[in-house]
Structure formats: structure tokens, C-alpha cells
């Protein structure tokens, strides 16, 4: 796994140092022996809810995320604390850790990611005998916000455990492992978007992930125009939830699969694990009248989103941020209309963001049932836009806005590199 010196503005040297001091107090070691995993949050500007159907999605990592300071525990024990949340996680493992072994009541809920990471490594056949003592830092209030804080935590623990056990795994293998935490251990039927974005992205580039072939490419804008003239703006709704406890996500995955099965039967290609990406666009056009109700809508979202992704990649290459943004807003519309995610506050927030000067386009981030909206915005407008959005949202949702006024009503981010272990 990539290790590098910390050279970007995030994380600051000062923050990294504070975390090392905390780990040395927890583990009774020298702070010079502490390593720090940098695991960024992610956005998916185009490709909403098509990863689990084997679609092609786009992603970017952000210059905000999770930091995990750690040292090998030397024995099969994990002890983790958070700098934002009470409680700690402490458990021993052997090669029998099962998925029933979820966090104990005394443990913080995020302990499940540590247990899940051990579970995933053992299930995939890795012999691990050493745990970690560590301290996790992230932005408070961003759990369930739609920027994949959970995958960022999962990836950070995997990388730390691998380092402690002398395992040098490539990003593709870590994508499988983190997916196993979410799918097998936590029971969420999501795709590989989140982990891939966190493990593969490059600053200033669009990460294009083919979720069926499990291949990716990094798309740099072709022209010389400085793409850092844009920012990624996140506007938070104040609605939070844990994705895996919400059955709406898994329900829609089943509806997509049902649609895929109907279409595949119509063209005479039955399959045991139907995915909408198994159906060609022409086949969809020819047989879509056989789909009814929710299945018809989910399929319409899938095929129209695939088209938006295709056009979006071209627009990104050509540095055409206006077209790219317009596609993002269209994706937001299809998420509401066809995928039927979002809810009143999220839709109000999305409309406010889309109508703000300087915004190229916006959509729900993450699953979209709660959390935040993501926008691509002209950098010159970003500060004023943040103030405008915060004010307008306060007018339409005063109670929810109050819940986030001391956290992050709006965050302005840059794109960043994938997760790595920081050596300095």
C-alpha cells in the first residue's frame, strides 16, 4: 500500500502531531513510533446508485477525512479511541472472529468497523496475529452524511492492521476487503463506489470505476485550464442516519435486480444474479414496457444515469465544467423522480444549492435519503455561496439548520489523493 510524506495542507502537521501524542498516551509508546493513516471522504459527482448494478461511476476523494494514528499492539488485541466520540473499542481476536461478533454495549458503535476489518481479513484467508492501539480523528457530525465516513474508517483500520501484520496489499484487494466489511459484516448491499474512491482517487482528477469489470481509470482534464478554479461544496441537511439500518437502500437494490431479471428473461438470458448492467441499452429500450411501478422507475434511473456518466466523463476531459455540472443536476432530478430517494429537507436543500450563483451543478451525495448535497462550484463564488446556502436553508428548515450550526452547515473542499500511510 502507498506510503508517502504528508505534504498537502490536509492533514496539517499540527493535527498529525496531536494524534501521535494521543496514541503515545494510549499505548505508552514514543510518539515517534506512531504512524498515521490518512483516509479521505469521497463524493460521487455522477453515477448515483448504479455501482451495485455493475454500472460505471465517477468519484473524487476530498481533502477532509479520517485520520487513524496507530502502533502495532504486538498481540491479537485491538484498542481504539476516537477524538470526537466517547467510548472505546477493545477486543481480542483469533482466527474464528464471526460476523455475529458485533460491538459490545460498552463499545462505541464504530467498533463494528474494527471487528469487520478483522473479520474480512480472516475470511479472505489472511493470517493476522497482531492488532493495533490507535486513535481515530474525523470531522464530528459527519457520520451518515453521505461522504462515506464509514468506508473511510473501514479503510483506515484495514491499512493499519495490514501494516501491523506486514501485509502489503494492493488497492484492488483492499476494495474487496472493505466491501466485505460493509456487505458481509454489516449487511448493507452496497457496491464498490466508496472504497474505490477512497483507495484510487487522484487530486484534480475524476476516478472512473467500472463496477462490473472492477477496473478503473483516472481521468485528467485534457485542456490547460486550471481545474483548481473549482471547488467541491458540501451542504449538510442536519438529517443523519446509519445507512445499514435503513432498509430503503437494500429495498431499491432488490427492485433494480427484479427489473434486471424481467429484462433478461425478455431477451432470453436468465441469470442467477441479475444486474441491470447485464442488459444492453437497446434491449432496455425494446423491452422496458414490460417493467411496471418501482422496477420501471429504478431501471429508468439506471440507464439514464449510465448515459449521464458517459457524457460527464467526456465533459470532464474537455474541462467543460458547465456541462458536467448540468449533468450532475440532472442526476439529482432522476434520483428524486426515478430512484425516489431524498425527502423534503434534502430536496429543498438541493434546490437552494442548484439555484446559488457560481454552482455548476449539484446532486445528493451518497445514498441521498439523508446527509448532504454535493455541488461543483466556481472557486471565486464558493465563500459567498456557502453563506447564501446556510442562510436560505435556515429559512426553510430552521430546526434542522440549528442542529448543524455548530458543526458544518457547508464545507468547501478540494479534491485529494487516495488513502495512504503518512510516514513523517
CB 338 to ligand GLA: min, Å: 13
Cβ distance to ligand GLA smaller for residue 163 or 216? 216
191-210 footprint of ligand GLA as x/- string (CB under 6 A):
x-xx----------------
Q: Does 48 bind ligand GLA (CB under 6 A)?
A: yes
Q: Does 366 bind ligand GLA (CB under 6 A)?
A: yes
CB 26 to ligand GLA: min, Å: 30
Q: Does 49 bind ligand GLA (CB under 6 A)?
A: yes
Q: Does 178 bind ligand GLA (CB under 6 A)?
A: no
Cβ distance to ligand GLA smaller for residue 148 or 397? 148
Cβ distance to ligand GLA smaller for residue 1 or 188? 188
Q: Does 46 bind ligand GLA (CB under 6 A)?
A: no
Among residues 22, 51, 137, 194, the one annotated as catalytic is: 194
Cβ distance to ligand GLA smaller for residue 120 or 367? 367
6-45 footprint of ligand GLA as x/- string (CB under 6 A):
--------------------------------------x-
- The whole-angstrom separation of Cα 199 and Cα 193 is 10
CB 223 to ligand GLA: min, Å: 28
Cβ distance to ligand GLA smaller for residue 138 or 366? 366
Among 51, 162, 390, 414, binds ligand GLA (CB under 6 A): 51
- The whole-angstrom separation of Cα 225 and Cα 205 is 13
Closest residue by beta carbon to ligand GLA? 190
> Does residue 194 carry a catalytic annotation?
yes
Q: Point out which span in 18-26, 190-198, 296-304, 347-355 binds ligand GLA (CB under 6 A).
A: 190-198
Q: Does 60 bind ligand GLA (CB under 6 A)?
A: no
CB 291 to ligand GLA: min, Å: 21
Among 53, 174, 190, 338, binds ligand GLA (CB under 6 A): 190
Cβ distance to ligand GLA smaller for residue 343 or 391? 343
Radius of gyration of the chain (CA): 21
Q: Does 231 bind ligand GLA (CB under 6 A)?
A: no
> What is the SS3 string spanning the chain?
CCEECCCCCCCCHHHHHHHHHHHHHHHCCCHHHCEEEEEEEEECCCCCCCHHHCCEEEEEEEEEEEEEEEEECCCCEEEEEECCCCCEEEEECCCCCCCCCCCCCCCCCCHHHHHHHHHHHHHCCCCCCCCEEEEEECCCCCCCCCCCHHHHHHHHHHHHHHHHCCCCCCHHHHHHHHHHHHHHHCCCCCCCHHHHHHHHCCCCCEEEEECCCCEEEEECCCCCCCHHHEEEEEEECCCCCCHHHCHHHHHHHHHHHHHHHHHHHHCCCCCCCCCHHHCCHHHHHHHHHHCCHHHHHHHHHHHHHHHHHHHHHHHHHCCCHHHHHHHHHHHHHHHHHCCCCCCHHHHHHHHHHHCCCCEEEEEECCCCCCCEEEEEEEHHHHHHHHHHHHHHHHHHCHHHHHHHCCCCCEEEECEECCCEEECC
Enumerate the active-site residues.
194
Name the site residues for ligand GLA (rule: CB under 6 A): 44, 48-49, 51-52, 148, 190-191, 193-194, 366-367
Amino acid at each position: 500500500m502507498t506510503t508517502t510524506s504528508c505534504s498537502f495542507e490536509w492533514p496539517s502537521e499540527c493535527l498529525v502531531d496531536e494524534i501521535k501524542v494521543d496514541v503515545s498516551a494510549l499505548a505508552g509508546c514514543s510518539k515517534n513510533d506512531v504512524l498515521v493513516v490518512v483516509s479521505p471522504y469521497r463524493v460521487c459527482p455522477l453515477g448515483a446508485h448504479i455501482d451495485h448494478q455493475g454500472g460505471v461511476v465517477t468519484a473524487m476523494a476530498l481533502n477532509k477525512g479520517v485520520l487513524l494514528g496507530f502502533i502495532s499492539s504486538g498481540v491479537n488485541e485491538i484498542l481504539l479511541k476516537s477524538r470526537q466520540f466517547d467510548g472505546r473499542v477493545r477486543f481480542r481476536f483469533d482466527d474464528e472472529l464471526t460476523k455475529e461478533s458485533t460491538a459490545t454495549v460498552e463499545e462505541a458503535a464504530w467498533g463494528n468497523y474494527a471487528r469487520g476489518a478483522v473479520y474480512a481479513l480472516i475470511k479472505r484467508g489472511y493470517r493476522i496475529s497482531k492488532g493495533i492501539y490507535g486513535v481515530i480523528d474525523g470531522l464530528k457530525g459527519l457520520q451518515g452524511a453521505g461522504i462515506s465516513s464509514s468506508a473511510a474508517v473501514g479503510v483506515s483500520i484495514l491499512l493499519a492492521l495490514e501494516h501491523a501484520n506486514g501485509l502489503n496489499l494492493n488497492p484492488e484487494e483492499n476494495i474487496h476487503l472493505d466491501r466485505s466489511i460493509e456487505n458481509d459484516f454489516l449487511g448493507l448491499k452496497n457496491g464498490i463506489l466508496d472504497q474505490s474512491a477512497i483507495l484510487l482517487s487522484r487530486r484534480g482528477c475524476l476516478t472512473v470505476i467500472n463496477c462490473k469489470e472492477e477496473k478503473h481509470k483516472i481521468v485528467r482534464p485534457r485542456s490547460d485550464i486550471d481545474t483548481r478554479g473549482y471547488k467541491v461544496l458540501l451542504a449538510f441537511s442536519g438529517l443523519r442516519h446509519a445507512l445499514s439500518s435503513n432498509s430503503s437502500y437494500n429495498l431499491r437494490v432488490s427492485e433494480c435486480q427484479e427489473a434486471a431479471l424481467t429484462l433478461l428473461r425478455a431477451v432470453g438470458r436468465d441469470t442467477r444474479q441479475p444486474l441491470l448492467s447485464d442488459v444492453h441499452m437497446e434491449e432496455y429500450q425494446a423491452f422496458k414496457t414490460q417493467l411496471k411501478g418501482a422496477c420501471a422507475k429504478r431501471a429508468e434511473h439506471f440507464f439514464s444515469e449510465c448515459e449521464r456518466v458517459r457524457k460527464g466523463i467526456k465533459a470532464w476531459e474537455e474541462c467543460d465544467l458547465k456541462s458536467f455540472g448540468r449533468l450532475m443536476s440532472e442526476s439529482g432530478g432522476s434520483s428524486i423522480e426515478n430512484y425516489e430517494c431524498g425527502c423534503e429537507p434534502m430536496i429543498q436543500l438541493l434546490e437552494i444549492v442548484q439555484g446559488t450563483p457560481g454552482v455548476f451543478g449539484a446532486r445528493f451525495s451518497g445514498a441521498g435519503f439523508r446527509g448532504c448535497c454535493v455541488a461543483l462550484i466556481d472557486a471565486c463564488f464558493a465563500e459567498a455561496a456557502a453563506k447564501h446556502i446556510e442562510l436560505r436553508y435556515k429559512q426553510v428548515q430552521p430546526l434542522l439548520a440549528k442542529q448543524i450550526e455548530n458543526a458544518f452547515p457547508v464545507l468547501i473542499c478540494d479534491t485529494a489523493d487516495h488513502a495512504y500511510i503518512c510516514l513523517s
